[in-house]
């Protein structure tokens, strides 16, 4: 039997970070509100209520499509996708069928350090449904409670081509897309809370065959880990069926985190089952070329290109670049620190290390914290020049982070500047040698580690202000071993 090849395509739904819902004035932010309190006649689907298109949602979708190198047709329209489910108050979802806002793009992502590209079929706009609450998981619960606070929230769908060839590629594709959406400021990337959701189409075919096998849609994967686990399970399940000579049923299956298995939910609908037809309450959308050009000009540097540029431009490691490009604001802060005179590698260490730890603990973003890029640069330069010790600088950074003071000013104010003055250093070296004659003798006899306590004595005598590198060098000179 020919070896089987998985064929995987992802459909990603992203709630857009607009102020209001897709077709009404209700708030798009719905988490934590009392059930069914964030609703109006339009999003409840009451007779006579009319939808109005949210311009910000259209612009966010076009920006995303442009960042994915999609084509933006001049005309677009909304359609009704008809189906019955308790979370859908109108009995149809307003979506886009044959004239979406964009077509034919691609997404670059990395797998094991290798660049891959996956085609993007389309990016279109629709509205979210409400939420159902069950006791436990849906297929075992005796009841469902309906909350329509989420009904009508703008939902952008990014449909990927079936270009992925292994379950391992899927989370990497999704990571790249998620980061792009965060860069664009159109989605918060929160998979656990469901503002970013991913479904997958999975089929198998003999390697080398072009024709696609029967595809199964897998839903309900709310983390990168569960996405890979669900696809691995599903590929295994289908492989097993095919090898036993059985047929794959076209259907929708849900990933059960509890059972670590995909579970059949329903037969898969075909497009005709949804009886799509143009939404009669909304005019077709004409997307002006000037608007497209204007949105294109305002796009941020994409994450992958930003990473390449930072690697190219500064002497920092790939790991550092990864940390510094988590969000575009992180990279902007780093570049500001370097522009203010800090050496790149040290700047990256201080930002990704001590400063980020302080920001995390205080739950504040680096660009909003009390340490400006210029202040961090001053401190880093002082450490690099040996004017202040690393440990003192770390303490001052933490203090300044709290109080809003400038860390460099604290060094001067407190007289904490590191001492490199020759006469003062010589005196401390003399004291240390007098205090620890055994360590001195041991070092001279070849015990390298005996230097530690001597440097320690100097640091202690100086109140941590003695330059430790200089202290070690002076001790070595003084204790020069015969023959060295």
Residue numbers of the site for Zn ion (CB under 5 A)? 24, 26, 40, 42-43
Query: Cβ closer to Zn ion: 21 or 394?
Result: 21
Query: Cβ closer to Zn ion: 41 or 267?
Result: 41
C-beta of 35: minimal distance to Zn ion in Å? 15
Instruction: Give SS3 for 11.
Output: strand
Contact 433, 440 (CB under 8 A): yes
For 413-458, list the strands marked E by DSSP: none
Query: Cβ closer to Zn ion: 12 or 28?
Result: 28
C-beta of 51: minimal distance to Zn ion in Å? 10
Q: How far, in whole angstroms, is CA 213 from its chain's centroid?
A: 33
Query: Cβ closer to Zn ion: 52 or 318?
Result: 52
Contact 84, 129 (CB under 8 A): no
How far apart (Å, rounded) are the C-alpha atoms in residues 48 and 7? 45
Q: Which long-range contacts (CB under 8 A, 24 or more apart) does 383-388 make?
A: 383/346, 384/342, 384/343, 384/346, 386/418, 386/420, 386/467, 386/469, 386/470, 387/411, 387/417, 387/418, 388/416, 388/417, 388/418
Query: Cβ closer to Zn ion: 26 or 373?
Result: 26
Would you give the DSSP letter of residue 227?
Answer: H
C-beta of 43: minimal distance to Zn ion in Å? 3
Query: Cβ closer to Zn ion: 24 or 72?
Result: 24
Query: Cβ closer to Zn ion: 43 or 66?
Result: 43
C-beta of 393: minimal distance to Zn ion in Å? 53
C-beta of 81: minimal distance to Zn ion in Å? 19
Q: How far, in whole angstroms, is CA 435 from its chain's centroid?
A: 55
Would you give the DSSP letter of residue 166?
Answer: S
Query: Cβ closer to Zn ion: 65 or 155?
Result: 155
C-beta of 39: minimal distance to Zn ion in Å? 5
C-beta of 17: minimal distance to Zn ion in Å? 17
Residues 6 or more apart whose CB falls under 8 angstroms from that of 227 comprise 170, 171, 174, 198, 200, 221
Query: Cβ closer to Zn ion: 50 or 385?
Result: 50
Whole-Å CA distances, 335 to 347, 348, 376, 384, 401: 9, 9, 12, 18, 20
C-beta of 148: minimal distance to Zn ion in Å? 9
How far apart (Å, rounded) are the C-alpha atoms in residues 51 and 94? 10
Q: How far, in whole angstroms, is CA 333 from its chain's centroid?
A: 17
C-beta of 119: minimal distance to Zn ion in Å? 35
How far apart (Å, rounded) are the C-alpha atoms in residues 388 and 464? 10
Whole-Å CA distances, 295 to 273, 287, 305, 375, 432: 36, 12, 19, 35, 67
């Amino acid at each position: 039997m020919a070896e089987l090849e998985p064929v995987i395509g992802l459909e990603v739904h992203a709630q857009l970070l607009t102020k209001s819902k897709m077709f009404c004035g209700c708030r798009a932010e719905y988490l934590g509100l009392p059930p069914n309190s964030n609703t109006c006649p339009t999003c409840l689907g009451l007779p006579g209520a009319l939808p109005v298109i949210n311009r910000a949602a259209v612009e966010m979708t076009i920006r995303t499509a442009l960042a994915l190198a999609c084509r933006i047709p001049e005309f677009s329209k909304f359609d009704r996708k008809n189906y019955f489910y308790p979370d859908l108050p109108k009995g149809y979802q307003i979506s886009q069928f044959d004239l979406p806002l964009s077509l034919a793009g691609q997404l670059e992502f990395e797998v094991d350090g290798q660049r891959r590209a996956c085609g993007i079929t389309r990016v279109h706009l629709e509205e979210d449904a409400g939420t159902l609450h069950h006791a436990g998981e849906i297929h075992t619960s005796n009841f469902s409670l309906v909350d329509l606070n989420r009904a009508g929230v703008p939902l952008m769908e990014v449909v990927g081509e079936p270009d992925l060839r292994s379950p391992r590629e899927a989370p990497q594709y999704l990571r790249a897309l998620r980061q792009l959406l965060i860069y664009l400021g159109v989605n918060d990337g929160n998979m656990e809370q469901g503002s970013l959701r991913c479904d997958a189409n999975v089929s198998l075919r003999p390697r080398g065959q072009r024709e696609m096998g029967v595809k199964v849609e897998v839903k309900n994967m709310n983390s990168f880990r569960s996405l890979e686990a669900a696809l691995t399970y599903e590929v295994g399940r289908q492989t097993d069926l095919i090898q036993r000579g059985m047929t794959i049923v076209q259907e929708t299956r849900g990933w059960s985190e509890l059972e670590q298995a995909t579970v059949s939910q329903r037969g898969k609908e075909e497009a005709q089952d949804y009886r799509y037809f143009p939404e009669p309450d909304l005019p077709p959308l004409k997307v002006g070329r000037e608007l497209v050009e204007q949105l294109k000009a305002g796009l941020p540097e994409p994450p992958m290109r930003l990473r390449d540029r930072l690697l190219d431009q500064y002497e920092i490691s790939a790991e550092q670049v990864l940390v510094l490009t988590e969000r575009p604001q992180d990279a902007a802060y780093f570049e500001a620190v370097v522009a203010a005179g800090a050496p790149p590698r040290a700047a990256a260490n201080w930002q990704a290390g001590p400063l980020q730890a302080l920001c995390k603990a205080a739950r504040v973003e680096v660009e909003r914290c009390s340490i400006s890029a210029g202040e961090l640069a001053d401190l880093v330069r002082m450490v690099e020049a040996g004017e202040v010790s690393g440990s003192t600088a770390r303490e001052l950074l933490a203090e300044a982070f709290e109080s809003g003071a400038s860390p460099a000013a604290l060094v001067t104010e407190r007289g904490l500047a590191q001492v490199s003055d020759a006469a003062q250093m010589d005196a401390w070296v003399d004291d240390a040698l007098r205090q620890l004659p055994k360590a001195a003798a041991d070092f001279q006899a070849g015990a390298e580690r005996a230097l530690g306590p001597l440097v320690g004595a100097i640091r202690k005598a100086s109140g941590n202000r003695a330059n430790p590198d200089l202290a070690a060098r002076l001790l070595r000179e003084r204790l020069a071993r015969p023959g060295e």
